[in-house]
Structure 1
Amino acid sequence: MDVINDMTVFVEVATAGGMTAAGRNLNLSAAVVSKRIANLEERLDVRLFNRTTRRLSLTDEGSGYFTRCKSILEDILDAEAALSGLAGNVKGTLRITAPSSFGRKHISRLIPEFLKQYPDVSIQVSLTDQIVDMIQAGFDLAIRTGELQDSSLIARKLSPARRVVCASREYLSKAGIPEHPSDLLQHNCLVLGYPGGVHDHWHFKGAEGHIDVKVKGNLETNNGEILRDATKAGIGIAIKSTWDIADELKAGELIPILREFELPGAAVYVLYPNREHLPAKTRSFIEFLESKFGREPYWDKGISLKDI
């Protein structure tokens, strides 16, 4: 019983989305691949794929088995590489998920450099503002910004994600400058909204302790770029991360306000499965990101953070 080979065939079929494509990648006929999958399902006494005339899709049981098999096969490759002195030979397909705005603004510019440094690595990137189950979806790592939810994943902090309350000069000259968080009740506040709720409760910490303000305004969006552009256009006040508006702060297009009041802490994180031995491709990308970000990320250079 060649369990490892069966796992390899199964993972390739699930990844390629079909018997024929998997056979082509493995130099096997579609008939041989189909027979191997049928034998595997019989041995496990479970159906791994839903089959139609057009496509294959994993069953719930198959999805869980795929995650485990993929992890096991990567551990085997890492173990062999370490024993043969090839641990530095970083290769394979790295699957990444990241927030849309942060991914376009910061991850996008770094990927070409990483690929030049590690030419044997292939990268698949999915940008989404939805919190996906990265293990279920087959991602090797996830980039997250802001405050983390409870998770069984390992979270490594890459850099701080400083946030400011800000508005344009046009808006402030017209509506006045808030001096206390409670003054925001008289202003047009632009907020993030997601299926899980609207971020219309803004939390501050000042000399008198914690201050919570339920703000309101005429724009709610799940996209940070829309929020940034509306704020620049003088529509209202928003809370924005410096990784998104560093250029606007340096140019004076956006003005930080309420600077003596502290906002909740946030950071940029990389998340990955709780595994004892990370694949070399994953470890190398995490170390690459750490070298690019750090305690004072490049986007914060030139901003007087003590005034923010």
Structure 2
Amino acid sequence: MLTSDDLAFFSVLAGSRSLAESARKLNVTPPAVTQRLRALEEKVGVRLIDRTGKSLFLTEEGSLVASHGALVNNAIDQLAEALADRRGIVRGHLRIAAPHGFGRQYVAPVVETFARENRSALATLELSDHPSAMLMESFEVIIHIGARAHLDQVVTTLAPNRRILCASPHYLASAAPISEPQDLVRHRCLAVRENDEDVTLWRLTGPRKESATVRINPVMSSNDGSVIRDWALAGQGVMMRSEWSVAQDLAAGRLREVLPDWQLPSADIVAMLGSRHGRSARSTAFLKLLRQSLKPPPWRSGGMASDVQ
């Protein structure tokens, strides 16, 4: 009868291109791998691997063992993680997705802290232009700017974040005044093309709760928020950006808020959790650290400089 150790050993072989590579992964000598493979094949009574030169090829029976072994190993890992969660032990592989700019500046340092404090856990951070489109089956935590809830997801707010219209003092000094939303139609506007939003339709709410909708025709656009910010700083036009991204530029006078009495829809920082992973000890520990790092929001407390998307 095959044991879990046999299946774990064979899964390493199945994922390797040669016996030498398998030996390196297992931290043993190639003869030791050959000897154990021979014993495993004798146990099951069939040949599992064909060796052509230095390469490995699974036989039909080897493929069957590898596929079933993956299911068994995955079930064992899930059971071990469930038991660890019951005891509040942080272990396993935490996979996080986040937007490029916000992820680099605010999420990556927290991932490093998480890894340092939880030596039994692994951590992977995937930065993306569109993290909310990633599959929850592949990530335990997806950081998103702006709520994107689905029926199979738990969404928790991490920090408040406004959207702001702003431009450089140089541009505003040389352009026509902007006293009401419709004035934006006659101005150079910059757009960040991200997520699934209609980025050319700007919706605003006035001081008396009146609504205004403006369809802009961007003279420049990009899928990278840091590029749009650089263009705005260079005096190319008016942009809509997240508060976290431009707070320091506004405080330093490099950018100036446009239509400050009008509000844009907020874009809070949220974490999306798959229902299957929502209560794991590792995701709980990571989110606790992330909440602590964002409370109070650094962009409202003179915190970290904002140089990216």
Name the TM-score class by shorter chain. Answer: 0.7 to 0.9
Distance verdict in 2 for CA 1:113–1:195, change over 3 Å: closer
Distance verdict in 2 for CA 1:245–1:91, change over 3 Å: same
- 2:281 maps to 280
1:81 and 2:107 matched: no
Distance verdict in 2 for CA 1:162–1:197, change over 3 Å: closer
Structure 1 residues without counterparts, runs of 5 or longer: 49-64, 304-308
Deviation per CA, 1:119-176: give whole Å up to 9, x if none. Answer: 332221111112433334x222111112425452211110112111101100100113
1:170 and 2:170 matched: yes
Report the CA distance between 1:116 and its aligned residue. Answer: 2.2
Counterpart CA distance in 2 for 1:19 and 1:141 is 35
Q: TM-score, normalised by structure 1?
A: 0.74
Q: How does 1:1-308 map to 2 (within 5 A)?
A: 24=25, 37-39=63-65, 41=67, 73=76, 75-81=78-84, 85=87, 87-88=88-89, 90-131=90-131, 132-136=133-137, 138-148=138-148, 150=150, 152-194=152-194, 196=196, 198-206=198-206, 207=208, 209-275=210-276, 278-294=279-295, 296-302=296-302
- 2:43 maps to none
Deviation per CA, 1:221-255: give whole Å up to 9, x if none. Answer: 11111111111111000111111112211111111
Any idea what SS the aligned residue of 2:139 has? coil
1:121 corresponds to which letter in structure 2? A
Q: Is the 8 A contact 1:171 1:235 kept in 2?
A: yes
Any idea what SS the aligned residue of 1:126 has? strand
Deviation per CA, 1:170-200: give whole Å up to 9, x if none. Answer: 0100113311111101111101224856510
2:153 corresponds to which letter in structure 1? L
Counterpart CA distance in 2 for 1:240 and 1:280 is 34
Counterpart CA distance in 2 for 1:74 and 1:257 is 53
Q: TM-score, normalised by structure 2?
A: 0.74
Report the CA distance between 1:215 and its aligned residue. Answer: 0.7
Distance verdict in 2 for CA 1:149–1:79, change over 3 Å: closer
Any idea what SS the aligned residue of 1:226 has? helix
Q: Is the 8 A contact 1:142 1:272 kept in 2?
A: yes
Q: Is the 8 A contact 1:164 1:263 kept in 2?
A: yes
Report the CA distance between 1:98 and its aligned residue. Answer: 0.7
Q: Is the 8 A contact 1:158 1:293 kept in 2?
A: yes
Q: Is the 8 A contact 2:149 2:155 kept in 1?
A: no
Report the more deviating stretch, 202-211 or 220-229.
202-211
Counterpart CA distance in 1 for 2:18 and 2:275 is 31
Aligned-pair identity in percent equals 24
2:222 corresponds to which letter in structure 1? T
How many residues end up aligned between the 2 structures?
A: 274
Counterpart CA distance in 1 for 2:26 and 2:123 is 18
Q: Which has the larger radius of gyration?
A: 2
Q: Is the 8 A contact 1:97 1:128 kept in 2?
A: yes
Counterpart CA distance in 2 for 1:259 and 1:11 is 60
Counterpart CA distance in 2 for 1:276 and 1:122 is 15
Counterpart CA distance in 2 for 1:123 and 1:100 is 17
Q: Is the 8 A contact 2:141 2:273 kept in 1?
A: yes
Any idea what SS the aligned residue of 1:119 has? coil
- 1:56 maps to none
Q: Is the 8 A contact 2:146 2:268 kept in 1?
A: yes
- 2:55 maps to none
2:102 corresponds to which letter in structure 1? F
What's the Cα RMSD here? 3.6
Distance verdict in 2 for CA 1:253–1:141, change over 3 Å: same
Structure 2 residues without counterparts, runs of 5 or longer: 41-47, 49-57, 304-309
Q: Is the 8 A contact 1:97 1:127 kept in 2?
A: yes
Q: Is the 8 A contact 2:154 2:278 kept in 1?
A: no
